[in-house]
Structure 1
Amino acid sequence: MATQLAKQADQGRTLSEAVVRVAACWRLTNEQLGAILGLSPATASRLRSGSVRLDRSGKEFELGQYLVRLFRSLDALMGSDDAASISWLKTANLDLGGRPIDLVRSIRGLSDVADYVDDYRAQV
């Protein structure tokens, strides 16, 4: 049981750090990061500072996984060019019906954008 709890805590730390790195690379505000993860801007700020971690049993953990998945896929497509990724996120996408940065604020939108990028990546 103690080993299981330690493993979950480690997963929470690892994902929290990855999410914070994504937010930094994409220059997300605390309000944007909070909206994506379903957290308040204050909690997003505490996540960035390391005083809060994503809980393996919470919805924010699952949303964080989707965010990291989107980041990895988009990063591969854009050749690790953060400026190109930010530009793509902020540009209206006719296929998606809006700007990806706005769409990812909902669970459905985050899932749709991640699936879209994965599908596009599979074609390349």
Structure 2
Amino acid sequence: MELSRAALARLLGKDRSTLNRAKGIDPSSKTDELALLLIRLYRSLSVLVGNDRLQLRHWFHTANRHSGGVPAEQVQRTEGLVEIVQYLDAMRAPI
């Protein structure tokens, strides 16, 4: 998805140095709950684009009329991250 370390740190509510020292994910932590959502986003999107890195990056950094913005920008807010994950979940759901 090519998120910069600074963008990732902002998203998770940590500074870059703390992010670099992180040893793992604690699901009971609010910050790490966001990290799990980001992983879920990546996995869902990866499946939808057939593991094509270029398509994944394109989708993530291009305006999307269904989500109403650029996903890479939208996920910088917790609500936006949740909305994008829900959107991708709906796209993957069987009809």
TM-score in terms of structure 1 length: 0.68
Residue 25 of structure 2: aligned partner? 54
Query: Which one scores higher on RCO, CA 8 angstroms, separation ≥ 6?
Result: 2
Which 5+ residue runs of structure 2 have no aligned equivalent? Answer: none
Residue 64 of structure 1: aligned partner? 35
Which 5+ residue runs of structure 1 have no aligned equivalent? Answer: 1-25
TM-score in terms of structure 2 length: 0.87
User: What displacement does 1:71 show?
Assistant: 0.9
User: What displacement does 1:123 show?
Assistant: 5.1
Identity of aligned residues (%): 36
Structure with more helix by fraction:
1
Residue 122 of structure 1: aligned partner? 93
Q: Does 1:81 align with 2:52?
A: yes
- Larger Cα-atom Rg: 1
Q: Does 1:100 align with 2:71?
A: yes
The partner residue of 2:61 within 53, 67, 90 is 90
**Pairwise CA RMSD of aligned residues?**
1.7
